[in-house]
Amino acid sequence: MGKLIGTIIENLVQFGKDSVKTTALSFRVITKYTAGLISAFICIILMNNLYGDAIECFPSENKYRQAMVLKCWMEGVYLDKKLFSQNLNPGDDVLHNGVGPNSVFDSIDRITFRYYQWIIPMLLLQSFIFYLPYLIWTTCENKIMQKLLGKVSFPVFSDDWEKQRKTLIKYIKDVKEKYHREYAIKYIVCEVFAFAMIVLNILLTKWIISHEKAHFWNGYWEAVKSFFNGDIVKFMYDSSLMFPLQAKCDFNIIGPSGTIVDKDALCILPQNVIIDKIFAFIYVWYIFILMISFLNLVYYGVLFGCNLLRLFDIGFMLERTVTIREVKEISHNGTLGTWFTLNSFRRNLVSIQFQDLCKQLHQELKAEGKIKRRRNDGGSGDAENYY
């Protein structure tokens, strides 16, 4: 078991590594890392189930036990909403929150839980959904940056870096702007798709986990607050409405005379000991990445639509070591494709390498006559030409 856990952890660590970064960190967190996180949750639930059954039921007659466990696992268990009250003491007034004698049970107040067997399949599906935008992007990107930046750990100003720099400059100069632009547009489409996948997973969680008496994203908020405030007693009470540790189950059989006989049993749901904490984290995490993804779309939307902001962004990437005029000349006046390509280079180079790359690019463009200087430049330029 220890070797299995070690292998899983090692694979998850390798899963998070990128030799060449072709996306922003936020995009990787939203897609690749979130998929890995959910996969880790699945492993935790599976390991928990290795040491015991996911559900245990205790009918009044032991001969029906195995059949009842299967029936309750497939069709679900229930609670009585009337028996949820902070004025009722579990163990005294009721057996557990929502669990009491059938004499006070009213079918109108029944809360049925049918999600139990769907937790792991749902998380598997969500993991794939989160990873899908990253998978699409890596397919569209076609390892272009990997080919250009396969070795990015060169010592600065070494012979290897000189060769690498020539390759990068040649790529910027020789590839037409429309191809750089298409590359950038593919990425922003994947960012939009990632945002849509977060919304889809939020709706999927609501659809699977919610029941007729409580909406997951509304009903679980109090439990989440209690969990992160460290109030475990209140958390156990609040979470039991969504992830009960004990519940009841009905089992109908045909008696000797041909009549239907109702049997009921207390069921223990040990899997929920892990699941309620996992979904408290998922609740916060999904909202967090939804906000990050939305801000990403705003950021790229503004930069895609504003040439001047792209120029300033390149200037900040160069740490204000060049004039605004030189930034315009390097980036072809801040075109979308060139800006995005330079941004991709900057993500994989140290600052001094990126500055050296841009200065050499500027010199070569100037030597080839692709930069037309204004007349009467006048020395080092006005103050407004600098950041």
Q: What is the pLDDT of residues 98-120, one digit of tens each?
A: 676 655 455 557 788 888 888 99
More confident residue, 136 or 178: 136
Domain spans of the chain, in order of start: 2-302, 306-373
Q: How far apart, in Å, are the Cα atoms of 227 and each of 94, 153, 193, 210?
A: 24, 44, 32, 19
Grouping H, G, I as helix, E, B as strand and the rest as coil, residue 306 is coil
**Model confidence at 13: pLDDT above 60:** no
**Model confidence at 27: pLDDT above 60:** yes
Amino acid 380: pLDDT: 40
Q: Kindly provide the residue ranges of all beta strands, DSSP E only, lying in 60-195, ordered along the sequence.
A: 77-80, 110-113
Half-sphere exposure of 220 (CA within 13 A, CB side): 24
Amino acid 25: pLDDT: 92
Nearest-CA neighbor of 161 among 171, 172, 169, 153?
A: 153
**Model confidence at 191: pLDDT above 90:** yes
**Model confidence at 274: pLDDT above 50:** yes
Amino acid 351: pLDDT: 84
Q: What percent of the chain has pLDDT over 70?
A: 76
Kindly indicate the confidence band of residue 387, based on its pLDDT and cuts at 50, 70 and 90: very low
- b/e per residue, 247-275, with b = 16+ CB within 10 A? bbbbbeeeeeeeeeeeebbbbbbbbbebb
> Tokens 């990437």 appear where?
317
> Tokens 């000797």 appear where?
256
Amino acid 386: pLDDT: 26
Kindly indicate the confidence band of residue 300, based on its pLDDT and cuts at 50, 70 and 90: very high
- Are residues 195 and 294 in contact, defined by beta-carbon separation less than 8 angstroms? yes
Cβ within 8 Å of residue 358, ≥6 positions away: 318, 322, 330, 342
Amino acid 101: pLDDT: 64
Cβ within 8 Å of residue 361, ≥6 positions away: 169, 172, 173, 330
Amino acid 32: pLDDT: 95
- Are residues 11 and 35 in contact, defined by beta-carbon separation less than 8 angstroms? no
Amino acid 92: pLDDT: 53
- Alpha-carbon distance of 201 to 128, in angstroms, equals 10
Tokens of 307: 């040439």
- Alpha-carbon distance of 271 to 258, in angstroms, equals 37
What residues does 267 pair with on adjacent strands?
57, 247
Amino acid 11: pLDDT: 53
Mean per-residue pLDDT over the chain, rounded? 80
Tokens of 7: 């292998």
- Specify the pairing of strand 56-59 against strand 77-80: unpaired
What is residue 245's DSSP assignment?
Answer: S
User: Over the stretch 66-102, which tens digit does the pLDDT of each residue have?
Assistant: 777 788 888 888 887 766 665 555 555 566 666 766 5
> Tokens 């268990």 appear where?
77
Tokens of 142: 């076609």
**Model confidence at 304: pLDDT above 80:** yes
User: Over the stretch 148-189, which tens digit does the pLDDT of each residue have?
Assistant: 887 665 566 667 788 888 888 888 888 888 888 999 999 999
- Alpha-carbon distance of 175 to 376, in angstroms, equals 32
Burial of 297 (0-12, 13-18, 19+ CB in 10 A): middle
Amino acid 37: pLDDT: 96
- Are residues 55 and 69 in contact, defined by beta-carbon separation less than 8 angstroms? yes
- Output Rg (C-alpha) for the chain, integer angstroms: 30
Amino acid 370: pLDDT: 62
